[in-house]
Amino acid sequence: MQSVCLKSDFWDYYDHWFDRGKGIVFERFSNQGMNRKEMLDYLSSLGFKTPPYGTPSEVLAQIDPQLIELEEIAREKDDYFLEVVVYLDERAHRGEGKIVVPLYKALEEYPKHLCSGFIPPLPGATTSLRYLQVGDRNFWLRYISRNDWRSNYGDVDISVLSKSIGYHCKIDLPLFAIDFIANTQELFAVDFNTAPGIRHTGIEDILPAKEAANAIKKAV
């Protein structure tokens, strides 16, 4: 196997098995790759279902008119139910750089920001599913937060649901993750991360560090 050297701005459990000195360089940086708008466009192009996204006015245009009428009635009573996730930093991952606000507030205060429709969590738990590709190894993980609207914040449980061997049929990258909101019966793809952190997820218990590094090196 040809030498592969790692360049990264964070440490993961398999890093020490990469080669030192000369070789192919594998870059893994937290904020590399696509911004949020490009991610959502890319995920949509692959056929994944995404929440409505765009500027607040563009999201409004994608909402069922009957829901908008109900929202207007609620607003007359100083209430609301349509909310959006506003991305304050389009390159942030791990639940950072975003806030949830009412759609009417986003229209007033964040008219130029990218946002996406907010899918409310089920009572008592915010749930997401993550598809993780590590070289030719792939996994499905479940994240559940009991006290935050983001599934990877607060009181969080992470479970590894499945594992298998094989490359993704559409995405030709040595390391990536796709996050799906799983608060309803439908899965909505919301994040595409080419530098996902793996340690402390349970993966390190079933994929030894040397195997993880070698799988990525082989794919590179």
Question: Is 51:116 a contact under the CB 8 Å cutoff?
Answer: yes
pLDDT tier for residue 114 given thresholds of 50, 70 and 90: very high
* pLDDT tens digit sequence for 41-84: 999 999 999 999 999 999 999 988 888 888 787 777 777 878 99
Question: Residue 20 has which token pair?
Answer: 């030192």
Q: Give the β-pairing of 4-8 and 24-28.
A: parallel
Q: What is the pLDDT of residues 55-67, one digit of tens each?
A: 999 999 998 888 8
Side-by-side strand order, sheet with 137-145: 156-165, 137-145, 126-134, 175-181, 188-193
CA–CA distance, 12 with 28 (Å, rounded to integer): 10
Q: How far is Cα 61 from Cα 59, in angstroms, rounded to an integer? A: 5
Q: What is the tens place of the pLDDT at every residue in 157-172?
A: 999 999 999 999 999 9
Q: Check: CB of residue 153 under 8 Å from CB of residue 162.
A: no
Report the length, in residues, of the chain. 220
Q: Give me the chain's average pLDDT, please.
A: 91
